[in-house]
Amino acid sequence: MTVGLPHFMALSAVLFSVGLYGVLTRKSTIMALMCLELMANAVNINLVAISRFVTPAEMTGQFFAVFSMVVSAAEIGLGLALVIAIYRRRKTVELGAMEELKG
């Protein structure tokens, strides 16, 4: 049995769904950030798989995947800095306890 594009797409869909479920159901900010990272990695799998199976001569999917990883790293760094700042002020990292962030 060979692993083809549909297998990678299915794996990516499962990972993205697990990440989305985690973001929508978790109360901890750290867990929500981890689930966002899981969703970003599912997108990266899609980018590389489509690039590999549709246009193997070009490296566009790999380029966008690396760019997406750089953006995700910056997002996680900023998110963790915000979580630490909120924890120092409120002594909690639960999403429901952060009333001052509501608009």
pLDDT in tens, 27-54: 888 898 899 999 999 999 999 999 999 8
- Tell whether 103 is covered by a domain: no
Domain containing 21 — which CATH number?
A: 1.10.287.3510
Q: Minimal CA–CA distance to 46: which of 34, 30, 31, 64?
A: 64
Query: Does 87 fall in a domain?
Result: yes
Question: Is there a domain that residue 102 lies in?
Answer: no
Q: Tell me, yes or no, whether 101 lies in a domain.
A: no
Angle at the Cα of 95 from the Cα atoms of 87 and 99, rounded to 5 degrees: 80
| pLDDT, tens digit only, all 103 positions of the chain | 889 999 999 999 999 999 999 999 988 888 988 999 999 999 999 999 999 998 888 888 889 999 999 998 998 899 889 888 888 888 887 877 766 656 5
Mean pLDDT of the chain: 88
Answer yes or no: is 21 within a domain.
yes
- pTM (predicted TM-score): 0.82
* Domain count of the fold of the chain: 1
Longest CA span, the chain: 55
Quote the CA–CA distance of 99 and 52 in Å, as a whole number. Answer: 46
Domain that holds residue 61: 5-96
